[in-house]
Structure 1
Amino acid sequence: MRSAFPLVRTPHPVPEAERASILAAPGFGRHFTDHMASAVWTPEVGWHDHGVSALRPFSLHPSAAVLHYAQEVFEGLKAYRHDDGSVWLFRPERNARRFARSAERMALPTLPEDDFLAGIEALVRADEPWVPAATGERSLYLRPFMFAAESFLGVRPAERVVYSVIACPAEPYFPSGDNGVTLWVSTSYTRAGQGGTGDSKCGGNYGAGLAAQVEAERHGCDQVLYLDGAGEQGCVEESGAMNLFLITSDGELVTPALGTILEGVTRDTVLTLAPEYGLTPVARPVTFEELREGLADGTITEAFASGTAAVLTSVVGIKGEGYAWTVGTGKQGERTAALRERVLGIQYGRVEDSHGWLRRVV
C-alpha cells in the first residue's frame, strides 16, 4: 500500500495573476511552486513525518553533515500536461530505482519506491495549476532529493536524513532548441573512475564538473564532453548533463557503455525505440580515436545528447585543443529529429504510448 503524504496547504500561495505571468515565460529552475513534499529518516524510527506543505527554507546547523561531506543524492523528472488537461509522469519508476541505487552508493537510507512515487504525485496534485500547457515544450520539472541533516563532524553515514521534492515550471533546457549544441572535449578534467560515483546521481559529481563547464563556455561551447582517465588515448564517456549518442552510416545507434556514466531514463527510452527507426542500438566503449575518425570520414552521420532536461539535443560540433569538427551537416539530423519527436509525442500524449511508460497523476 502506498504511503500517504498528507497535504497542508500554504496560506500564502502565489497569486493567480503572478503565476500566469511566470508560466508564460518560466525559464528553467528559476521559479518554484507553492508546496514541497518531505519526509525524515532516523535509524530508530525509519521513514516518518511524510507530508506536503508550504515551500519553505530548511534550517540546518552549521555542522550538518551534507555541508561537510556531501552526503546527498537527487533525481530529475517532469510532469506533462496533455491536451485534455490531464497531467502525466514519464517512467517515474525508473527514477525511483535509480534514486535508491544512488542512495545506497552514498550510504544513505533507501526510500521505498512507493514513497518516492507517492510524494511526487502528492506534490503534483497539490500544485497542478503550476503545470504549464505543452506550448513550447513546457513542463513541470520535479526535483526529488535527499541529504544528510544530522549535526556532527565525524566521518560516518548520517543518522538523520531529510527527503524532499520541489517543483518548478520549465522551458527547454537549451535555448538553442533544434539548432543543436557544440561540445568541448576536456583533457583537463575527468568526470569519474571505476568504483567511483559516476553512475550515481549525486551533487558532488555536478559540483566537480562546474570547472569543466566553465572551460567549455570559455571556448565558445555549450557543454563539456568527458573522456575517461586515459584521455585521448581512451574512451568517450558522457556530456556534463547528458548521455551521448552517435548514429553511424551503417545504421547503428551507439552510446557509451554503463559503468562510470549515469544510467539515463531518456537513454534507455531511446535505446528501446531505436529499432523502430531502422537503427541497431549498441552500448559499448567508444574510443576517442573512433570518434575522431568517424567524424572525419563520415562514418558518424549524426550525434545527439539525451537527458530529462535536454530531452534529445543535437550535437552539431565537437571542439578541443587544436581542432573543431562538424557533425554531419552541422544541423539536426533526420533520425535524431524523428526520435526526438517520438519521445516528446509520448510524453505529451500526442502519439500512442505502446510501451506503457506514462503514469497519470491528475
Structure 2
Amino acid sequence: MSPAYPLASLSSSNLFFSPLPPNHEPPAGKANHGRYMLTIPWSAASGHELAFDPLSGVLQYAVTCFEGMKCYKTDQGDLRLFRPEKNFDRFKRSAARLGLPNKWDNAELVDLLCKLLALEAPLVPTGDGSNLYIRPTLLETSEGYGIKETAFASEALLYVVTTLNLGKGLYASSEAPGKGIRLDACRDYIRAWPGGTGSYKLGANYGTVSVAKKPGFAMSLWLHSHDGEDYLSEAGAMNVWIIKQAADGYLEFITMGLDNGIVLPGITRESLIELLNDHASGKSSVPLPGLPTKLRVVERDISMSEIVTSIEDGSLKGMFGCGTGVVVVQIGEIQYQDKIHKIPHNPLIQILRDTVTGIQRGKIEHPWSHKVPEWDGSGAEKDREEDNVLA
C-alpha cells in the first residue's frame, strides 16, 4: 500500500538540534526519560509542515503505529542497537496498513536515530538487563473525520522518544526454578483475529493490555478460538514458545506461525528461529552451549489443550516468551479456566536469553549488533525550524 503522492525524502543531513542548557533539570516524574526527542513532521503538500487538527486521524481513529527498540552500552562504553533495519521494515509495514507514509530510506532513519542516541549516551546504563528503550512513533495529524476519498494521510508526524530500563524487572525470570512469570489465559478479551491487524504494531492493538491483566499475573496470555479449541496468540506484547519432546527424539521449539495474521512478526522471534536453525544445521558461528543439535523449530498453532496434555504426559519441557522488552523470559505458571498449570523450568531458556543479550551488548560479535557512531551535535546547532529536529 503506497500513497498516491510522492513523499519528501528523509535526509539526515537536514538534522538540527537545540542543545540543553547547562543547568537543565528533568521535570518531576520524568527523570528516567531521555533528554531529547527526534521529530520529523511530514506534509503531502509541502514536505514537512505540521498542523495538528483536533479531528486528526490519530485522535479520532487511532491512526498510529510504533516500534520498540533498545540501545545497549557495552563494557567498553560504546552504544549498540540490535537489527534496527528490521524494526524499521516492520514500521513501514505497519504504516502502510494505516495509510501513513512508509517509503523512507531506512539508512537515513537509522542515521537520525543514532544521532539522537549519541546525545543520550551519558544516560545509557551498563549491566545485564539495563537499557535505553526507544519508541519510534508515527501518527496521522491531518483530519481523519469520516470516510475519506483517499485512504492515505496527507499529514503525519514521526517522532522518537526514549526512557530507561523497560523490561528490566522481568530480566531475571529465566534464571532459576520458580522465577518464571505467571500468565492468565484470557478468554474475556480478544487481542487479534484472522484478517485483522494483530500482525501489525498499531497503537490500537495495545490499549487493552493493562485492562485485561488480572492482579497477581505479569500479563495476559491472549487466546483465539475456533472449532471449540482455545489457541495461543501472544502473551502481553510477547511472542510465545513451548519446548516439547517429540516422539522421534527431537527437542522441538514451537512458536505460532504468521500465516493467519494474528501474531506480530517479532524481531527477537525471528532472531531465535535463525539461531536455533543454524545451531541444528551445524552452520552457526554463534555457540549455543548446552542445546542439543537434535532439535527442530516448528511454526504452527498451539492450543491450550495441547499444553495441558503435554504437562500431564511429561512431554512439555518448558515455555517462554520473547520480545524487545523482555528479550527472553521463562513462563512458570498459566491460569486457565480457573486452574493453575505449572510449567517445567528449563535452563536452555537462559542460554537463549544470554546468547541474544550477548549479541545485543557486543559480548558476542555479530552482524546483528549495530554500533552507534559518536556524535556531539557539532555543526547542527540551530534555532530555526527545519526538517528533522532534535530538541
What TM-score does the superposition give when structure 1 sets the normalisation length? 0.85
Q: CA deviation at 1:171?
A: 5.2
Q: CA deviation at 1:324?
A: 0.8
Cα separation, 1, equivalents of 2:352 and 2:188: 33
Cα separation, 2, equivalents of 1:293 and 1:266: 28
- Alpha carbons of 1:94 and 1:14: their partners in 2 closer, same or farther (altered >3 Å)? farther
The equivalent residue for 2:62 is 70
Cα separation, 2, equivalents of 1:151 and 1:72: 13
- Alpha carbons of 1:322 and 1:234: their partners in 2 closer, same or farther (altered >3 Å)? closer
Cα separation, 1, equivalents of 2:168 and 2:77: 23
Query: Where in structure 1 are there 5+ consecutive unaligned residues?
Result: 50-57
Cα separation, 2, equivalents of 1:79 and 1:13: 25
Cα separation, 2, equivalents of 1:207 and 1:231: 28
The equivalent residue for 1:11 is 20
The equivalent residue for 1:163 is 158
For the residue of structure 2 that corresponds to 1:137, the secondary structure is: coil
The equivalent residue for 1:52 is none
Name which of structure 1's ranges 256-265 and 233-242 shifts more when overlaid on structure 2. Answer: 233-242
Structure 1 counterpart of 2:343, one-letter code? V
The equivalent residue for 1:270 is 272
The equivalent residue for 1:54 is none
The equivalent residue for 1:221 is 217
For the residue of structure 2 that corresponds to 1:167, the secondary structure is: strand
Question: Which deviations, in whole Å up to 9, do the C-alpha atoms of 1:216-251 show, x marking residues without a partner?
Answer: 32xx21111111143861421111110001011230
- Alpha carbons of 1:323 and 1:310: their partners in 2 closer, same or farther (altered >3 Å)? same
User: 1:131 is matched with which residue: 119, 124, 140?
Assistant: 124
The equivalent residue for 2:135 is 143
User: 1:172 is matched with which residue: 151, 167, 172?
Assistant: 167
Are the equivalent residues in 2 in contact too, given 1:38–1:119 (CA < 8 A)?
A: no
Are the equivalent residues in 2 in contact too, given 1:81–1:87 (CA < 8 A)?
A: yes
- Alpha carbons of 1:247 and 1:346: their partners in 2 closer, same or farther (altered >3 Å)? same
Cα separation, 1, equivalents of 2:245 and 2:235: 23
Structure 2 counterpart of 1:43, one-letter code? A
Name which of structure 1's ranges 267-276 and 86-95 shifts more when overlaid on structure 2. Answer: 267-276
Cα separation, 1, equivalents of 2:310 and 2:31: 39
The equivalent residue for 1:44 is 45
Cα separation, 2, equivalents of 1:261 and 1:91: 20
Name which of structure 1's ranges 248-257 and 344-353 shifts more when overlaid on structure 2. Answer: 344-353
Name which of structure 1's ranges 292-301 and 240-249 shifts more when overlaid on structure 2. Answer: 292-301
Question: Which deviations, in whole Å up to 9, do the C-alpha atoms of 1:55-106 show, x marking residues without a partner?
Answer: xxx9944322211100000001111111111111100011010000001111
Structure 1 counterpart of 2:298, one-letter code? V
Question: Which deviations, in whole Å up to 9, do the C-alpha atoms of 1:283-330 show, x marking residues without a partner?
Answer: 1111222122112222111100000011101000111223110001xx
- Alpha carbons of 1:304 and 1:345: their partners in 2 closer, same or farther (altered >3 Å)? same
Are the equivalent residues in 2 in contact too, given 1:143–1:166 (CA < 8 A)?
A: yes
For the residue of structure 1 that corresponds to 2:311, the secondary structure is: helix
Are the equivalent residues in 2 in contact too, given 1:119–1:165 (CA < 8 A)?
A: no
For the residue of structure 1 that corresponds to 2:37, the secondary structure is: strand
Query: Where in structure 2 are there 5+ consecutive unaligned residues?
Result: 1-8, 174-178, 280-290, 374-391
> Identical aligned pairs, as a percentage?
29
User: 2:364 is matched with which residue: 342, 345, 351?
Assistant: 351
Structure 2 counterpart of 1:200, one-letter code? Y
The equivalent residue for 2:231 is 235
Cα separation, 2, equivalents of 1:70 and 1:236: 26
Structure 2 counterpart of 1:9, one-letter code? S
Are the equivalent residues in 1 in contact too, given 2:51–2:141 (CA < 8 A)?
A: no
The size of the alignment, in residue pairs, is 334
Cα separation, 2, equivalents of 1:2 and 1:108: 15
Aligned pair 1:114/2:123, yes or no? no
Q: CA deviation at 1:175?
A: 4.3
Q: CA deviation at 1:36?
A: 1.1
Are the equivalent residues in 2 in contact too, given 1:198–1:260 (CA < 8 A)?
A: yes
Structure 1 counterpart of 2:348, one-letter code? R
Matches within 5 A, 1:251-330: 251-258=251-258, 259-275=261-277, 276=279, 277-278=291-292, 279-328=295-344
Higher helix share: 1
Cα separation, 2, equivalents of 1:152 and 1:297: 54
Cα separation, 1, equivalents of 2:120 and 2:227: 46
Name which of structure 1's ranges 166-175 and 122-131 shifts more when overlaid on structure 2. Answer: 166-175
Are the equivalent residues in 1 in contact too, given 2:101–2:153 (CA < 8 A)?
A: no
Are the equivalent residues in 2 in contact too, given 1:187–1:231 (CA < 8 A)?
A: no
Aligned pair 1:87/2:79, yes or no? yes
What TM-score does the superposition give when structure 2 sets the normalisation length? 0.79
The equivalent residue for 2:176 is none
Structure 1 counterpart of 2:370, one-letter code? R
Cα separation, 2, equivalents of 1:206 and 1:14: 37
